[in-house]
Amino acid sequence: MAELLETAQEVSKMTIAHEIVVNRDFKLQEVNFSPNSLESRVKETLHKAFWDSLKEQLAASPPDYTHVIQLLQEIKETILSLLLPRHSRLRGQIEEALDMELIRQEAEHGALDIPNLTMYILGTMAMLCAPVRDEEVQRLRGVTDPVQLLREIFRVLDLMKMDMVNFTIQSLRPHLQDHSVQYEQKKFQELLVKLPNSLDHTTEWLHKAAAEVSASSLSSPSHPEVHGSPAPLSQGAVNRSSSTPSPMSVLNQGYMNLLRWEPGIEKYPETLLMDQARLQEVQLQVNQLTIIAAVLLVSSSVCGSALFSSPGFVDRLKRVTKALLEGLPHTRFGEALLDISNHVHQEVSESLLQVGYPAFTSDKSASLKGQIRSIAEEDNAVRSVIEQRIHSFLSLHLSPSAQNSRSLPKGLAPIQEELLEVSHRFGSVIYHNRQVYGPYYLAILKKVVLPGAEPEAGIDSF
């Protein structure tokens, strides 16, 4: 159990460091439970019981200051934890003003001045808090009930601690970025020593990718797409001197397979678990962009170039489609496409009226709605072509040298901005993962997956 707890702690440290480096927007936030949730009710009940008890102690004759002293001790420790090393003089002042031994003596003699102590605490908080908390601290000066004031002081101090942690994260980020690869490799190696079978799912993932690259090269060596799956950009699908797939092509195929991952059916590679949520978000965005681009392509073919080139028409269709897909898993896209077909038809009808074109016939309206709804089918030709083109474009961003590529395949211009953002996110995650785990991937490929593969120039770091 001790080893498991230690391992869990090390994984937690590595995950936090990884998140800080990969997610530039990473910061701690206050946890807000739903008002009707069990957690919220339990928390509120316990807090109310504690503060009601404190109110009774202070209203007693003589007052009981036992809990107040404990709270003041916690407040003091929290304030001291917010100080920077250079705040030595302020630290001494706080130690003197909140001398706990003196406070206990004053409490024993009934001379504890809670209002004076809380005013000092608020003044200190005002000096230390971030500008965003100024208003909250100032508002506390108007609270006269000592119990309510202490409760609010703790609430604002919790926010100040979070501010300090986030400030520390921002300060550490440049240092972590310089050393993150070495740090993650070191921690991961320590985990492998304790858990020697920790790369089973990664090995299986690479096995599958190798089989797909081999099948692709055998069935259609010159064609970039096989069974609707684009072959990723690499140094060649196979080594020049043998039919064995190259390690780089296998790894790239593995990365592209993450965009078609089926949760619950396939086991995620251990080396990508820290980025699983991030990559699944990319997968969902890719699925949404596929539907949006397919809807626009179908609408264009039915409506004609004249209507499609009218100002703002494409943007309105795109906005409607995107809004109706927002927040939905890909399993519910079929339901959404029913609504999308109706909204697109309505938008088309209004646009035809505005530009003075004749309205669609009932047959043409039915054709437009039917073609849009058929996009829900997995084997829909338009959807498959769009998906292939999006995946081909994203495969270009598996290599850092192609990060600035702006060459969009045909039919993707309406989603260019969103696609470039997704490709950047995808490429950034993959690039970091390749840096950290490249040596492990190479070892697996050489020993297990591709024992006959010849080494490639620069492959040691992928």
Residue 237: the pLDDT is: 46
Residue 269: the pLDDT is: 93
Locus of tokens 């949520």: 277
Tell me the one-letter amino acid at 147.
V
Measured at the CA of 47, the angle between CA 46 and CA 53, to 5 degrees, comes to 90
Chain-centroid distance, C-alpha 98: 42
283 with 259: CB under 8 angstroms? Answer: yes
* Dist CA 381 CA 302 (whole Å): 16
Is the pTM value of this prediction over 0.85?
no
Residue 197 phi/psi, 5-degree rounding, is: -100, 30
Locus of tokens 């009932």: 362
Each residue's pLDDT, cut to its tens digit, for the chain (462 residues) gives: 566 566 666 677 777 778 777 777 777 777 777 777 777 788 888 888 888 899 998 888 888 998 999 999 999 999 999 998 888 999 999 999 999 999 999 988 888 899 999 999 999 999 999 898 999 999 999 999 999 999 999 999 999 998 888 888 788 788 777 788 888 888 888 888 887 777 899 999 999 999 999 888 766 544 444 334 444 444 444 444 456 778 888 999 999 999 999 877 788 999 999 999 999 999 999 999 999 999 999 998 888 877 888 888 889 999 999 999 988 887 788 889 999 999 999 989 988 888 888 888 999 999 999 999 999 988 899 999 999 999 999 998 886 555 555 578 888 999 999 999 999 899 989 999 998 999 999 999 888 766 655 544 344 445
Residue 246: the pLDDT is: 85
Of 256, 341, 253, 224, give the one whose Cα is nearest residue 291.
Answer: 341
Question: In 10 A of CB 172, how many CB atoms?
Answer: 13
257 half-sphere exposure, CB direction, 13 A CA radius: 26
Q: Residue 421 corresponds to which tokens in the numbers above?
A: 């953002």
Q: Residue 136 corresponds to which tokens in the numbers above?
A: 């909250």
446 with 248: CB under 8 angstroms? Answer: no
* Dist CA 260 CA 289 (whole Å): 14
Residue 4: the pLDDT is: 56
Residue 150: the pLDDT is: 93
